[in-house]
Amino acid sequence: MLAVSWAPLFEPGFFSSEPVHVALTVGAISAVVSGVVGVFTVIRGQSFAGHALSDIGTAGGSASFLVGTSTLYGFVAFNVVAAGVMELIGIRKPRGRDLATGIVLGASLGLAALFLYEGTISSSTTGATVNVLFGSIFTLAPGIMNVIAVLGFVSVSLIAVLYRPLLLSSVSYEMAAARRVPVRLVGAGYLLALALAVSMSAVTIGAILSTALLIGPAAVALRVATRTGVAIAVAAVVGVVACWAGTLIAYDSTVWAGGNGWPVSFCIVVVIFVLYFTSGVVSRLRADPRPATTSDLGRFVEPVEAA
């Protein structure tokens, strides 16, 4: 009935299509998980790690493709190991940390090249490589839903349990350590949650969307929210909205764009960008609620990151 009045918006068959159902469900789950983890990712300045894990997982996916097991397990395994390595390297300053992430990523991509090469040699299915790299929200292996849900649940639960110490150590490592927070354990726990979140989203909706849903909605949320809880909620909602709207647009585009229509990933990314720029305008228009202060002239200056 809803479809009748919104007829121009929803091309026929949208709500009854099974692949669409799956896409909307999977997209929503990924969006919520990515939104929760993404807010902490942006706060901690680990966007590169979040993106790198989607590529690193791809190496794992290629490996398991080679071996014959489900890509998901290879993905998760590689991501967890990579997260562990990143934590062990243990660099805290952002520049050095991104460098270490890059090295791990470079090595993983090299491995991916190796596995893909072996894969094409052995089975000569080039289409599979595209799938591993880009995924497709409309073509998901059956029975994977349960594992995905579990991964997402574990990831979000981890964040929930670590919430306060993670927030505190993200504000100041030293403050947290002084309060006897096990900072390295908390950091490792966060990386594990990130690894799981990226795994479940990259395998279902592709590496591009994994990063897009991790960083985009969180960036939007942080522009408009002043509290962490609100930011997380906004990020989740923005992610779901972007997924659903993008899926809808992609579905509709099969009609007016010809051929296979526009890919879902592109549509979702476009929606995210629209929301990002809108939030930018909104945050600029919002009046500063504080009265002008005449005292407290000092402003902290950032210390250099000594190598």
Q: Looking only at residues 148 through 187 of this chain, which bind other proteins when binding is defined by CB under 8 A? A: 160-165, 167-168, 171-181, 184
Non-local (6+) Cβ contacts of 96 within 8 A are 305, 307
255 near other proteins (CB under 8 A): no
Of 37, 148, 219, 242, the residue at the interface with other proteins (CB under 8 A) is 219
18 near other proteins (CB under 8 A): no
| Closer Cβ to other proteins, 2 or 121, answer by number | 121
> Could you tell me if 101 and 48 are in contact, meaning their C-beta atoms sit under 8 angstroms apart?
yes
| Closer Cβ to other proteins, 71 or 279, answer by number | 279
117 near other proteins (CB under 8 A): yes
Residue with tokens 């983890």: 37
| Closer Cβ to other proteins, 9 or 161, answer by number | 161
Of 3, 111, 237, 241, the residue at the interface with other proteins (CB under 8 A) is 111
191 near other proteins (CB under 8 A): no
Cα angle vertex 19, ends 151, 265, to 5°?
70
226 near other proteins (CB under 8 A): yes
260 near other proteins (CB under 8 A): yes
| Closer Cβ to other proteins, 152 or 216, answer by number | 216
203 near other proteins (CB under 8 A): no
Backbone CA torsion sign across 119, 86, 47, 181: positive
Nearest to 203 by CA among 18, 15, 48, 34: 34
Stretch that binds other proteins, among 13-21, 23-31, 47-55, 74-82 (CB under 8 A): 47-55
> Could you tell me if 74 and 55 are in contact, meaning their C-beta atoms sit under 8 angstroms apart?
no
CA distance 214 to 44: 13
| Closer Cβ to other proteins, 168 or 245, answer by number | 168
Longest dimension (CA), the chain: 72
C-alpha distance from residue 73 to each of 61, 148, 159, 248, 251 (Å): 8, 11, 22, 30, 30
Stretch that binds other proteins, among 2-10, 19-27, 111-119, 142-150 (CB under 8 A): 111-119
Of 154, 233, 241, 270, the residue at the interface with other proteins (CB under 8 A) is 270
123 near other proteins (CB under 8 A): no
Backbone angles phi and psi of 21, in degrees to 5: -55, -50
Footprint on residues 58-87 left by other proteins (CB under 8 A): none
CA distance 28 to 241: 8
21 near other proteins (CB under 8 A): no
